[in-house]
Every structure is written in structure tokens, then in C-alpha cells.
Amino acid sequence: MPTLKKKKKGRRKKLVAELTEAEWEIMNVVWDKEPCAAGTVQEALAKSRDWAYATVKLTMDRMVKKGFLEINKIRNLQLFRSCITEVEARRGELRKMLTRAFGGTLTPMLKFLVEHEGLSKEEAAQLRQFVGKTGKNQG
């Protein structure tokens, strides 16, 4: 089951990566420490997750098959590097949530945030400023 999807929008194709919760935790360590071995990831997650080395390694091997990680072998050592950026992963997470909760459109989500989650005056001003800049760039 492929979890990397290319979205066509505008001139550039955007990569969307949909990670599981466990994959997010692993990717955060890899982005911070890459290149790194599975043991490094397991040690970094030891305080928050009680995963055995075999669990981490198996998950990382599956992430290689999904296209999220790549392996560089140096003799008996396997070093993992990310194949996706944090932006691509966040885009996938946002798209998944937008599709599930708001029919895939951004405006209802923003309306919900403003009406039900509340914005501080500073956040509202920043949002207005951002929307104003975005509108000028498209016109």
C-alpha cells in the first residue's frame, strides 16, 4: 500500500507523505540525528516508548519500503536517512485531517478554528496579515 502520493496543484507536484503515529516518532528522531542507526532511534525513544530494538528496526525497514527512509550500508552498519521532509509529512497529516473532518477543504477548517477554538487578538492579526499577503500575490 503506497503512502507517498504526488498531488498536482499549480506548477509543481507536491509530495504528500501519510505517516502513522509510530512513524512520526521515528521520523522526528531521524530528522534530528540523520544519518543514524536503528539503535540510535531506539535509544532516543526509550523514555517515551518502551520499544525493543527489533520493533524499531522492523518499523524502520517497513518505512524504507514505503519510501520514507533509505538505508546506506557500511560493512555491518545500516545508517538510515530520510527520503521525505518535515513539510511533506506535515502536508500529509494536514490533508488526512482535512479530508476526514472537513471534506478536504481548508476554508471550513479555518472557520471552525476561528469560531470554536478561539484566536487571540495577536493570532487574528497575524492571520489577517497573512491572508492579505496571499491575496495580493495571487492577483
State residue 12's pLDDT score. 45
State residue 8's pLDDT score. 47
70-122 confidence digits (pLDDT tens): 999 999 999 999 999 999 999 989 999 999 999 999 889 888 888 888 888 89
State residue 131's pLDDT score. 82
State residue 120's pLDDT score. 86
Nearest to 82 by CA among 23, 34, 14: 34
Helix axes 86-102, 21-33, angle to 10 degrees: 160
Determine whether 32 is exposed, middle or buried from the number of CB atoms within 10 Å of its CB (0-12, 13-18, 19+).
exposed
Instruction: Tell me the CATH number of domain 4-82, given options 3.30.70.380, 3.30.930.10, 3.40.50.720, 1.10.10.10.
Output: 1.10.10.10
- C-alpha 84/C-alpha 70 separation (Å) is 10
Q: Does residue 137 surpass a pLDDT of 60?
A: yes
Domain ranges, ordered by start, for the chain: 4-82, 105-139
State residue 15's pLDDT score. 63
2-55 confidence digits (pLDDT tens): 455 555 444 445 566 789 999 999 999 999 999 999 999 999 999 899 999 999
State residue 128's pLDDT score. 84
